[in-house]
Amino acid sequence: MNKLKLINKLHHSTKRNYLKRMTDNKIHCMKIAKKYEFDYWDGNRKYGYGGYKFIPGRWTPIAKKLIKHFKLNNNSKILDAGCGKGYLLYEIKQILPNIKIVGFDISRYGIKNSHPKIKKYLFNHDINQKTKFKNKEFDLVISLGCLHNLKIHNLIKTIKEIVRIGKKNYIMVESYRNDKELFNLQCWALTCQSFFSDDQWIWILKSSGFKGSYEFIHFK
């Protein structure tokens, strides 16, 4: 396994008021967020992103780093599991126009409102369920910010499925390194079900036969 730092910079560029979120009717907000509908993406910030619009270039540096690190080219085939609105896949395809991209997400609103140029490559699917893909069908399977939303009993089988269908894999999840980061994560998270520290995530990944790349984001 190897540790990557592709998303960290983007993650830390956002300001977060942890205590305000914790005390702003949070249980209600969690229930709304977990539907992954309009409110989660484009509603009030207390329900999720607070307006997740396409910003040209925002994902370009990450797309470039991903292409370089995983040596992707126009013959590659890549899956984004929990792709949301598919902005990263869009940016990858801008750079490599003939790459085969596939994305899925549980959110009907996310897929419906994905970038129009790549919508045809995306579909609705719950990552807890086995996929229709063949063994090692993809050169790379990525899953960014999705797996911590699963419950522990589904986590290991889902990681095994990612391992089964991808020659290479890259997983990014929310994590913590100390009590402060655990507290901040517990304040901030609306949809997270798996609150684990770095060493616990590494244990889970290893126990699932994962040998790919991983990244943790923290709430400092």
Give the interface with ligand SAM as residue ranges (CB under 6 A): 36, 82-84, 105-107, 110, 126-128, 144-146, 149
Residue nearest to ligand SAM (CB): 84
Residue in the structure block whose two tokens are 């990263």? 88
33/205 with CB nearer ligand SAM? 33
Nearest-angstrom CA–CA distance, 162 and 184: 29
174/181 with CB nearer ligand SAM? 174
Show Cβ contacts of residue 27 under 8 Å, excluding neighbours closer than 6 positions: none
For residue 162, the minimal CB distance to ligand SAM (Å) is: 12
Closest CA to 163 of 194, 146, 132, 142: 142
- Phi, psi at residue 202, to the nearest 5°? -60, -40
For residue 209, the minimal CB distance to ligand SAM (Å) is: 20
DSSP reduced 3-state for 131: coil
149/213 with CB nearer ligand SAM? 149
For residue 198, the minimal CB distance to ligand SAM (Å) is: 19
Nearest-angstrom CA–CA distance, 58 and 140: 21
120/151 with CB nearer ligand SAM? 151
For residue 54, the minimal CB distance to ligand SAM (Å) is: 11
For residue 107, the minimal CB distance to ligand SAM (Å) is: 4
Show Cβ contacts of residue 148 under 8 Å, excluding neighbours closer than 6 positions: 173, 174, 175, 189, 192, 193, 194, 195, 196
128/197 with CB nearer ligand SAM? 128
**Contact between 78 and 139 (Cβ < 8 Å):** yes
